[in-house]
């Protein structure tokens, strides 16, 4: 079983195509590993065994037909964050409001994974409506970090990251409105990507035009992430940001061929924050230097940068009021206190403050876009420290390098939400295990539609500093 669940998606697909494994054998091993591994982590909300059996059987029928043009992920297991709709499988958004919700159709990204032959094994956890970077909810409790059960898995795609890190599936669909793919990926030592806004269509976003939430791929390797992106990307009528965006060869980009001669990389150590753990910064700088050794030109960026959290909150919390205010009378006593407080804070913003935040978003986009006149990519830490304690009070300051830093959003992940507001593609990759036994992450950001370039840079880093062989104890 361990031999199967430690295979990458690419390797599993190859074994299945070659007839050395069947989709049912892979599914059996996956479900057995979930049964053994999930209880202490609490990554799953729902195991979709019935649907998984049907999809595995369909994959075997297709294999038996002798078809030449087999889909790329045939028989490969994956999980779906419980903010993404799945036909016939309960989708709760980790909220009492939708506790018994069973969608009639798949979200477009799930439908595309199904078309690619992948087998959905279950729905993984999220905080209620994905509202914070710690994975816990009144309905399903807390998801813990496979590397240390006293630490958070990160959020809000923490179930995805915990499942990947512990081998419960090689692929997962996450979502990211302020770092919710990249934060848990960095916490758990896996890869997570938020593509260019609209590249992966989001057909259920409440605000399609002002949206900065993304659905995206998470995996243990860059190549697996690229394979997933290739399946998920492409326009959809229901996402106005997706129309007209070109698709690149993401899988070819992940082959990491060639050196980095002529590539200019902007190095950012701080982004509206004062503190970063020195060990995390050193680990990121080591990877930066590896890229320089391969021919890249490193250009330091040390200009002042305003922390974007206040503007992000005005837009986000105003939307929470619009979405959830009419649910409070019936469900308020069963909702997460932090979400309720965020709704209350959202009520305090005026229409003028909201428009100022939207205007700031445009200014921020133009500023960051101008950086790419000087460099091809940006490189920075993903988080300012490793995973915080799982039971940390969300409204209490965190510590960074034994110093009191301040609020979680402003000081732990100031590097992530700017690129949600601007729409630029961003990917986090692991950058080693720190002295506390926990992973750290390095973020690569590119100009609009440079997703393939980010993947190529990440794959080059992976070749220089591999990570997929690292597994938490007991996984």
Is 180 in the active site? yes
CB atoms within 10 A of CB 293: 11
d(CA 295, CA 438): 30
Is 123 in the active site? no
CB atoms within 10 A of CB 87: 15
Nearest CA-CA partner of 362 in 194, 246, 242, 210: 210
Nearest CA-CA partner of 311 in 355, 274, 269, 371: 355
Contacts (Cβ under 8 Å, ≥6 apart) of 395:
338, 341, 407
The three-state secondary structure class of 395 is: coil
Residues forming beta bridges with residue 377, ordered by sequence position: 265
| Separation in Å, CA 111 to CA 84, 204, 239 | 11, 13, 15
Maximal CA-CA distance, the chain: 62
Name the active-site residue from 8, 48, 81, 475: 81
Q: Which value, in Å, is the radius of gyration of the alpha carbons in the chain?
A: 21
Name the active-site residue from 8, 125, 153, 156: 156
Strands 426-433 and 439-445: antiparallel
Cβ atoms of residues 37 and 167 within 8 Å:
yes
Buried b (16+ CB within 10 A) or exposed e, 436-469: eebbbbbbbbbbbbbbbbbbbbbbbbbeebebbe
Name the active-site residue from 137, 160, 180, 475: 180
Residue with tokens 């005005």: 314
Nearest CA-CA partner of 109 in 78, 74, 153: 78
DSSP 346-371: HHT--HHHHHHHHHHHHHHHHHHHHH
Is 107 in the active site? no
Which residues are catalytic, by number?
Answer: 81, 156, 180
């Amino acid at each position: 079983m361990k031999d199967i669940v430690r295979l990458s998606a690419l390797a599993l697909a190859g074994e299945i195509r070659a007839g050395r494994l069947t989709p049912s054998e892979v599914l059996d091993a996956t479900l057995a590993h979930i049964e053994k591994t999930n209880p202490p982590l609490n990554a799953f909300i729902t195991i979709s065994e019935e649907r998984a059996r049907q999809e595995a059987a369909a994959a075997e029928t297709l294999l038996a037909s002798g078809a030449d043009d087999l889909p790329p992920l045939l028989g490969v297991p994956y999980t779906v964050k419980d903010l993404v709709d799945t036909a016939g499988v309960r989708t709760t958004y980790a909220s009492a409001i939708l506790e018994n919700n069973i969608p009639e159709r798949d979200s477009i990204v799930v439908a595309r994974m199904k078309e690619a032959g992948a087998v959905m094994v279950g729905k993984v956890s999220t905080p209620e409506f994905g509202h914070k970077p710690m994975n816990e909810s009144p309905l399903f409790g807390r998801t813990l970090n496979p590397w240390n059960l006293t630490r958070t898995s990160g959020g809000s795609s923490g179930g995805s990251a915990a499942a990947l890190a512990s081998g419960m599936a090689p692929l997962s669909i996450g979502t990211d409105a302020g770092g919710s793919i990249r934060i848990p990926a960095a916490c758990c030592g896996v890869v997570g990507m938020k593509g260019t806004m609209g590249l992966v269509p989001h057909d259920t976003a409440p605000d399609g035009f002002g949206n900065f939430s993304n659905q995206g791929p998470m995996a243990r390797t860059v190549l697996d992430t690229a394979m997933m992106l290739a399946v998920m990307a492409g326009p959809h009528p229901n996402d106005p940001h997706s129309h007209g965006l070109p698709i690149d060869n993401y899988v070819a980009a992940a082959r990491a061929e060639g050196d980095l001669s002529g590539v200019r990389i902007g190095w950012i150590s701080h982004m509206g924050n004062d503190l970063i753990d020195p060990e995390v910064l050193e680990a990121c700088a080591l990877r930066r230097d590896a890229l320089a050794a391969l021919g890249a030109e490193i250009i330091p960026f040390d200009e002042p940068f305003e922390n974007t959290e206040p503007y992000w909150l005005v837009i986000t919390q105003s939307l929470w009021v619009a979405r959830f205010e009419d649910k409070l009378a019936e469900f308020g006593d069963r909702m997460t206190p932090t979400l309720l407080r965020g709704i209350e804070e959202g009520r305090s913003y005026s229409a003028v403050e909201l428009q100022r935040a939207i205007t700031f978003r445009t200014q921020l986009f133009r500023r960051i876009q101008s950086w790419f006149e000087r460099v091809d990519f940006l490189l920075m830490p993903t988080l300012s420290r490793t995973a915080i304690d799982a039971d940390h009070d969300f409204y209490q300051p965190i510590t960074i390098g034994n110093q009191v830093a301040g609020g979680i959003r402003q000081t732990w992940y100031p590097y992530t939400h700017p690129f949600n507001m601007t729409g630029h593609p961003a990917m986090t990759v692991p950058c080693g295990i720190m002295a506390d036994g926990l992973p750290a992450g390095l973020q690569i950001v590119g100009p609009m539609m440079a997703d393939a370039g980010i993947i190529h840079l990440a794959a080059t880093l992976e070749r220089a500093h591999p990570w997929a062989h690292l597994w938490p104890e007991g996984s």
